[in-house]
Each structure stands twice: as structure tokens, then as C-alpha cells.
């Protein structure tokens, strides 16, 4: 039996410390009671589990898993599960806290949670992934549930993984529990529009930002880092809206064509080969070079902390839309603000996923499902309202979009905390 070693993380800074410093900055700007901040900067609970798995070669490997709940003042906790080699407990804590703010900003009745398993899913067979998922679910089964904590897909997980979690939980309860996870396949209680939801929410934010700047998406140049679920759909939607997607990248390769990339063809190539490498009609580009391209809109849709103090001054984009969680560090934020770059923060820009997860949860509880047009229309209403509330706060207080978004969210969670009081 071997324990999987934790590799050196891609994270340059501790994300949980970043999340807490963001909270303290919000407290200073919006004059929030320090006693409340003492409560909000801590996670309600953090579960660390070992996940033994029988591998295809006959060995047993032990993976480390986490499930963290940050806050439940506004409702049950909600948040994805990621499978990635760099997952750390502090990263999961930070992501759980950001989920709390994301739900509050969107006005949906959830608190924040997050989970993860330290593994490389790309090197594991489907059988190994399924056995790991089912064991991990069994280890956290007392902590999750439709009225308690509802997982969803994240980096390295998808509808297939959610189906295994749903089945494992339901088998233990003795009946199907549709509301235990979201992001499920349509055949077992998933929602129409869920797969594209994060990207569609980011699209609605970009549309609003461009409109506020009195510009047009027609001919706007776009670079997208990350070509998974969020990045590929966002590139596709922006291209359909008339934007020119000049660069895209995945974890191993990137494409650049100043005249525009055929996004649909790139998606098909990635589906067939598993990578963007070898795609004709564009030149190779590194992830690092993509971030500093001359473009109107830059969408980092991969992992955290890709825009830092080291490269922020080289960023030439006019608008950054955070498809990923925490892709811009606080030091980089300050540099971008001085340069006049409009940053659409993660808790607003990528909230589409959790909003439609909320819709899926509601549909599952009611066992009554909506048409896709209805899902997208409701998503547009919520994202547009949250965007305009954030924009109005930004203008009235003369602060950044990020500080405005966090300020609104933290105030809402603070109000719920005060209203409920502290038990006993």
C-alpha cells in the first residue's frame, strides 16, 4: 500500500491567507464589525480523509481528500469537488470562502463549501476514478446531503463523477436523492444548461461590461486561457456573439492567430486528440505568452494565481473576466487597477455554474424540470442584476469591481449572521 505524495503546488501564495486579507480589506472599506469578521474569516468545519483505492495493477494507493464548509448562515453549503495533483487544505478553505461570497452576491440561498482529492485524474483509468470517487463519497457521506452540503463538479471532475457520488449516496440511503449533488447527467436529474452555465454567466458579464463601456462585442479581440468546460464554451459563445478569439490554450499547449481561431474546429480537435496541440490554422503559444497578448478581453479560465505581480504590468487586455477562481493575485490587482484594466471578479464572472446548480437542486427537490430557455433566462436575470448592483457600488464608492462585489457579498452574509445570532 502506498500513499500518494503531495507534489509541489503551483500556488505562489497561500490562497486562504489571500481570502482572509481580502475579507479584512472589505471590513475596512465597508466598516463591518470586527467581531463579525472574526466569525467570517474562519471555516465552520474541515474534514480530512484518507481514500484507499485498489488500482488496476493490483496495488493499493491511498489518496488524501478534503471537504470544507465555510459558512451556512444563508442556507446549506454548496461547492465543487476538484481532482488535482496540487490540491491543498488551505486552497480548499479559500475556495469554500469564495463560494460563500459568490452565492451571497448572486442572492441564492447557499453558503460556501469545497472539496478535493489530491490525485492526477488524467493518469487514472475510469475504474480507478470510480472506485476512488465512491470511497471518497463514503468517507464524507455524513457531511453531505440535499439540506446540508451539496457538491458539484470542479477542476478535474464532471457529470460522470457526480453520477457516481449521487449513486453511492443514494445506495446508502436506500432511495434516489436527486438533490445531493448538482452537475449530474440529464438522464439522472441533471438540469438543461448546467454544463454551459459557468461560461454563459461569464458571457453575460462581458456583454454588460462592454455595454457599460459603450463598446460592441463585434470585432472585440479575446484570449482565453484554459480550454476545459468553462474556457471552451466561453470562447464559443463570444465567437458566436461576433468577437474574434485570437488565442486559446489548455494545460499543455496553446494556439494563436491574430485573425481569429475557428473555435468550433478547435473544440472538435481537442475532443478527438485530447489536446490543442497540432491544430492547423494557428501558431503555437505558451500559457505565459497568452496572458500578455494585445487583446480587448482576457479570460483566465484555468487555475489560480496565473496573473501575479511578476506579469501584471505586461498585461495589455482592457477587460479581464475571471472564469477561474482566484486567477489574479492581490498584488496583481493593484497593478491592473493603476493601469485602468477592468477586472470582472470571479465571484461575479464565474457564478453561472453555482446559479444553475441552484436551479438543478430546486428542480431535483420538486422533481419538476425546466426548459433550457427558462434556465438561461433566469440565469441572465440573476447575473445581470448582480453585475449592475456591483457596478453601481463600484461607481458610488469609487472602488474596484472586486472590492464592490466582495463588499456586497460580505454585507449580506454579515446581516444573515446577525439576524440569526450565535447559538446558544
Residue 169 lies in a domain: yes
Q: Which of 93, 114, 184, 270 is catalytic?
A: 114
Are 138 and 220 in the same domain?
Answer: no
For 54, phi then psi, to 5°, come to -80, 115
Distance CA(422)–CA(169), nearest Å, equals 31
Residue 30 lies in a domain: no
Distance CA(326)–CA(328), nearest Å, equals 6
Q: Could you read off the pLDDT of 212-268 as tens digits, one per residue?
A: 998 899 989 999 999 999 999 999 999 999 999 999 999 889 999 999 999 999 999
* Confidence at residue 5, expressed as pLDDT on a 0 to 100 scale: 56
Q: Could you read off the pLDDT of 262-302 as tens digits, one per residue?
A: 999 999 999 999 999 999 889 999 999 999 999 999 999 99
* Confidence at residue 12, expressed as pLDDT on a 0 to 100 scale: 75
Are 206 and 268 in the same domain?
Answer: yes
DSSP structural state of residue 307? B
When divided into structural domains, the chain yields a total of 2
* Confidence at residue 208, expressed as pLDDT on a 0 to 100 scale: 97
Residue 35 lies in a domain: no
Contact call for residues 222 and 236 (beta carbons, < 8 A): no
Q: Could you read off the pLDDT of 89-132 as tens digits, one per residue?
A: 999 999 999 999 999 999 999 999 999 999 999 999 999 999 99
Which residue do the cell numbers 480507478 mark? 128
The dihedral over CA atoms of 406, 194, 384, 231, expressed in degrees to the nearest 10, equals 70
Structural domain for 313, as ranges: 197-349
With a cut of 80, say whether residue 3 has pLDDT above it: no
**CA 143 to centroid of chain Cα atoms:** 21
CATH number at residue 114: 3.40.50.10860
Are 71 and 176 in the same domain?
Answer: yes
Q: Could you read off the pLDDT of 103-114 as tens digits, one per residue?
A: 999 999 999 999
Average pLDDT of span 64-69: 98
Residue 10 lies in a domain: no
Are 164 and 229 in the same domain?
Answer: no
C-alpha distances in angstroms, 124 versus 130, 167, 188, 278, 403?
10, 21, 25, 24, 40
Distance CA(322)–CA(349), nearest Å, equals 6
Are 174 and 51 in the same domain?
Answer: yes
Q: Could you read off the pLDDT of 189-220 as tens digits, one per residue?
A: 999 999 999 999 999 999 999 999 988 999 89
Count of alpha carbons within 13 angstroms of residue 189, beta-carbon side? 23
Task: State the pLDDT confidence band at 1, using cuts at 50, 70 and 90.
Answer: low
Average pLDDT of span 359-367: 97
Q: How many degrees, rounded to 5, is the angle at CA 413 between CA 411 and CA 416?
A: 110
pLDDT, mean over the chain: 95
- Residue 105: CB partners within 8 Å, gap ≥ 6? 347, 348, 351, 386, 390, 405, 408, 409, 412
With a cut of 60, say whether residue 305 has pLDDT above it: yes
* Confidence at residue 352, expressed as pLDDT on a 0 to 100 scale: 97
Residue 107 lies in a domain: yes
Are 210 and 181 in the same domain?
Answer: no
The reply to whether 378 belongs to the active site is no
C-alpha cell at 367: 422533481
Distance CA(384)–CA(378), nearest Å, equals 10
Are 202 and 181 in the same domain?
Answer: no
What distance, in Å, lies between the first and last C-alpha atoms of the chain?
45
Beta strands, E only, 226-276:
244-249, 254-256
Are 180 and 215 in the same domain?
Answer: no
> What does the DSSP assignment read for 88-152?
-HHHHHHHHHHHHHHHHHHT-S-EEEEEEEES-GGGS-HHHHHHHHHHHHHHHTTT-BTTTEEEE
* Confidence at residue 8, expressed as pLDDT on a 0 to 100 scale: 54
pTM, two decimals, is: 0.94
Distance CA(337)–CA(325), nearest Å, equals 19
Amino acid at each position: 500500500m502506498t500513499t500518494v505524495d503531495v507534489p509541489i503546488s503551483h500556488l505562489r501564495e497561500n490562497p486562504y491567507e489571500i481570502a482572509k486579507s481580502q475579507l479584512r480589506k472589505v471590513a475596512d472599506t465597508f466598516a463591518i464589525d470586527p467581531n463579525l469578521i472574526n466569525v467570517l474569516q474562519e471555516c465552520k468545519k474541515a474534514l480530512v480523509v484518507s481514500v484507499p483505492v485498489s488500482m488496476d495493477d493490483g496495488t493499493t494507493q491511498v489518496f488524501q481528500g478534503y471537504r470544507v464548509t465555510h459558512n451556512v448562515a444563508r442556507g446549506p453549503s454548496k461547492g465543487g469537488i476538484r481532482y488535482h495533483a496540487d490540491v491543498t487544505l488551505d486552497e480548499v478553505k479559500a475556495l469554500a470562502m469564495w463560494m460563500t461570497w459568490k452565492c451571497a452576491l448572486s442572492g441564492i440561498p447557499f453558503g460556501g463549501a469545497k472539496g478535493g482529492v489530491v490525485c492526477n485524474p488524467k493518469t487514472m483509468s475510469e475504474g480507478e476514478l470510480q472506485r476512488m470517487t465512491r470511497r471518497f463519497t463514503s468517507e464524507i457521506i455524513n457531511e453531505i446531503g440535499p439540506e446540508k452540503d451539496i457538491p458539484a463538479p470542479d477542476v478535474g471532475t464532471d457529470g460522470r463523477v457526480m453520477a457516481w457520488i449521487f449513486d453511492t449516496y443514494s445506495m446508502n440511503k436506500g432511495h434516489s436523492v436527486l438533490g445531493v449533488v448538482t452537475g449530474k447527467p440529464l438522464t439522472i436529474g441533471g438540469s438543461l444548461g448546467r454544463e454551459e452555465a459557468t461560461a454563459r454567466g461569464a458571457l453575460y458579464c462581458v456583454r454588460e461590461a462592454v455595454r457599460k463601456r459603450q463598446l460592441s462585442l463585434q470585432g472585440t479581440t479575446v484570449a482565453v486561457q484554459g480550454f476545459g468546460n468553462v474556457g471552451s464554451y466561453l470562447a464559443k459563445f463570444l465567437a458566436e456573439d461576433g468577437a474574434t478569439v485570437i488565442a486559446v490554450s489548455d494545460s499543455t499547449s496553446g494556439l494563436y492567430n491574430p485573425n481569429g481561431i475557428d473555435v468550433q474546429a478547435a473544440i472538435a480537435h481537442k475532443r478527438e486528440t485530447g489536446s490543442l496541440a497540432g491544430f492547423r490554422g494557428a501558431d503555437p503559444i505558451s500559457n505565459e505568452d497568452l496572458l500578455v497578448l494585445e487583446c480587448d478581453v482576457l479570460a483566465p479560465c484555468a487555475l489560480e494565481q496565473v496573473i501575479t505581480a511578476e506579469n501584471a504590468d505586461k498585461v495589455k487586455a482592457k477587460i479581464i473576466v475571471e472564469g477561474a477562481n482566484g486567477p489574479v493575485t492581490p498584488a496583481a490587482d493593484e497593478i491592473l487597477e493603476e493601469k485602468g484594466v477592468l477586472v470582472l471578479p470571479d465571484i461575479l464572472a464565474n457564478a453561472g455554474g453555482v446559479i444553475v446548480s441552484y436551479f438543478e437542486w430546486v428542480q431535483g427537490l420538486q422533481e419538476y424540470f425546466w426548459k433550457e430557455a427558462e434556465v438561461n433566462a433566469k440565469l441572465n436575470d440573476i447575473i445581470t442584476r448582480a453585475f449592475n448592483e456591483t457596478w453601481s457600488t463600484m461607481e458610488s464608492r469609487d472602488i474596484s469591481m472586486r472590492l464592490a462585489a466582495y463588499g456586497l457579498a460580505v454585507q449580506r452574509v454579515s446581516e444573515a449572521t446577525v439576524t440569526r445570532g450565535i447559538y446558544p
